[in-house]
A and B are shown apart, each in its own frame.
Chain A
């Protein structure tokens, strides 16, 4: 079955620095890769996603890159702000699959 590994499990940065979270997936048929942000006590919310026919996607301060050959994808947050502090989850879905498989999450802390 599909397996998604996420690193690091915790990440602490200074305000204004960049943060990078990396995920690898096991099923080469995976074709959809969303990222979710979960603030303390809240629900996970979709912040950006990428499909297998695209190598990079950007939305203001966040970007996601995908390397299909290496089967890994990354979330990049630039100019981090304290409100970026949250748990971030990567996920993958493979063609004709019936679920998202989530990574184990990264606790990002942005220190003012």
Chain B
């Protein structure tokens, strides 16, 4: 069983489109995250949710909107996609709000905006 699953794995879309990425974890963890990994491999946090409550909202364009219907799911919706949004997006989860046992990452979604 996949612990943290993301869909889709690959996403190719045109500028200006709206797209969503879904994430689900079956670990019973309380906290979920979205990270963006750019071409230089840097992992930059975007959002985190703890038990459906927004905890972290980094300086991210408001075209990006997370949504957590329950603590096992965290989705990411992106409006009006731009070329600079091309990256790999990783979902992750941790047992508690303070990640003292680290993260479990999903397999990533490679977003390409053309």
Contact = CB atoms under 8 A, between A and B. Distances in A.
Interface size class of B (residues with CB under 8 A): 20 to 34
Contacts, number: 58
A97 B102 contact: no
Given A44-B90, A87-B41, A100 B108 contact: no
B68 interface: no
A49 to B, nearest CB: 6
A43 B106 contact: yes
B100 A98 contact: no
A98 B56 CA distance: 8
Contacts of B41: 38, 87, 104-105, 107
6 contacts: A32-B99, A49-B102, A51-B100, A93-B100, A100-B102, A102-B43
